[in-house]
Amino acid sequence: MSSMVELIGYDGGEGDDFFVGDDGAIYEVGDDGMVYEVGARRGRMRRQKRRQARRAPQQVALKKLPPVRRSSLDPSQARRQVVGIVTLTPIPGAIGGGQPGEGTVQVNIQRDFQGQRLVLSAFDTVANIEVNVAVTINQFLVGSVNQLPAGDPIGLVAFRPDAIDSWLSLSPASPGVIIRIGFQNFSPNPVVITGGIYGMTQNPD
């Protein structure tokens, strides 16, 4: 038994002396004269708790990462908006041999955008009438991604304002991406194209 080096408590009763041993444990001298270990000194207990805390696995706060960019925009974070499509100069009429006149419209996207519906009309600048059946789209690019799966021209009549089931899911466009639409005019007179692309925009504020 290690020697007792410190008296830490005595209440006046017989056999109620408490001692701290060299090992830091608390001992009591019982009524039978025997020495019993009854606890650990507070300092020792605190040191044990600190050692246990150091051994315990530490919880690490994980940094919240931004969401991965989706192939399509998230509808819950978007607003329905429209991108205007207008030819600045008329598309010339067809030339000899049935060769159509050609023209393009380019739009520079300013915020994340995904088109869902294309609505266009072609107007004859001479007769002042709508001539959608005489105009086709032969190029439709979002950036460098072709939006015409078959690669063949498609009649503008498919995108009339009253067209049925004309919903699309165009490739998403980030700010700075250019949407380019090319037209062919098979009518004899110049035409102007007006309309827009309806879709979802991200970061609407």
CA distance 105 to 92: 14
34-80 per-position pLDDT tens digit: 766 666 555 555 556 666 655 655 555 555 544 434 456 666 667 88
Secondary structure E strands in the chain: 4-10, 17-21, 25-29, 35-40, 78-86, 101-108, 113-124, 135-142, 145-146, 154-155, 178-185, 191-202
pLDDT band at 7 (very low <50, low <70, confident <90, very high): very low
**Domain-wise residue ranges, the chain:** 4-55, 75-202
Q: For residue 9, is pLDDT > 70?
A: no
How are the residues of the chain apportioned to helix, strand and coil, as percentages rounded to the nearest 5? 15, 45, 45
Dihedral pair phi/psi, residue 159, rounded to 5°: -120, 25
What's the fold here for domain 75-202? Jelly Rolls (2.60.120)
pTM reported for the whole predicted model: 0.61
117-166 per-position pLDDT tens digit: 999 999 999 999 999 999 999 999 999 999 999 989 999 999 998 888 88
- Write down the pLDDT at residue 155: 95
SS3 134: helix
